[in-house]
Amino acid sequence: MKRVIRLLISGCLLAWPVHGKQPVQAPVRKTCGSGIVLKLSSATASQGGLLLAEISGAKTSQEFTAEWDGRPIPVWRETPSSARLHALLGVDLEKPPGRYEWKISWSAADGKPLACSFPVTVRAGIFPIERLTVEEQFVHPDPEQQKRVEEDQKKMKAIYDTVTPEVLWKGKFVLPLKGVSTGRNFGRRRVLNGEARSPHTGVDFAATAGTPVYAAQSGRVVLAEDLYYSGNTVVIDHGYGIYTLYAHLSEIEAHTGDAVQTSAEIGKVGSTGRVTGPHLHWGLTIDHARVNALELVQRLP
DSSP string, the chain: ---EEEEE-SS--SEEESSS-------EEEE-GGG-EEEES-SEEETT-EEEEEEES--TT---EEEETTEEE--EESSTT-S-EEEEEE--TTPPSEEEEEEEEEE-TTS-EEEEEEEEEEEPP---EEEEE--GGGTS--HHHHHHHHHHHHHHHHHHT---SS----S----SSTT--EEE-TT-EEEETTEE-PPP-EEEEE--TT-EEE-SSSEEEEEEEEETTTEEEEEEEEETTEEEEEEEEEEE---TT-EE-TT-EEEEEB--SS-SS-EEEEEEEETTEEE-HHHHHHH--
State pTM to two decimals: 0.88
pLDDT tens track for 79-111: 888 889 999 999 999 999 999 999 999 988 788
Q: Considering the domain 4-16+126-299 in this protein, what is its CATH number? A: 2.70.70.10
pLDDT tens track for 14-28: 343 443 334 556 789
Residues 6+ apart with CB under 8 A from 24: none
Residues of the chain with CATH 2.60.40.10: 22-123
pLDDT tens track for 197-224: 678 899 999 999 999 999 999 999 999 9
Q: Give the up-direction half-sphere exposure of residue 201: CA atoms within 13 A in the CB hemisphere.
A: 22
In order of 97, 173, 185, 189, 203, the CA distances from 14 in angstroms are: 22, 22, 6, 12, 10
The CATH T-level fold of domain 22-123 is: Immunoglobulin-like (2.60.40)
- What pLDDT is stored for residue 128 in this prediction? 83
Answer yes or no: are the C-beta atoms of 236 and 220 closer than 8 Å. Answer: yes
Number of other CB atoms surrounding residue 127 within 10 Å? 21
Q: How far apart are CA 287 and CA 206, in angstroms?
A: 28
When the pLDDT of each residue in the chain is averaged and rounded to a whole number, the result is 86
Q: How far apart are CA 85 and CA 91, in angstroms?
A: 20
201 or 8, which is more confident: 201
Range with the poorest average pLDDT among 5-19, 29-43, 63-77, 157-171: 5-19
Residues of the chain with CATH 2.70.70.10: 4-16+126-299
Q: How far apart are CA 87 and CA 286, in angstroms?
A: 11
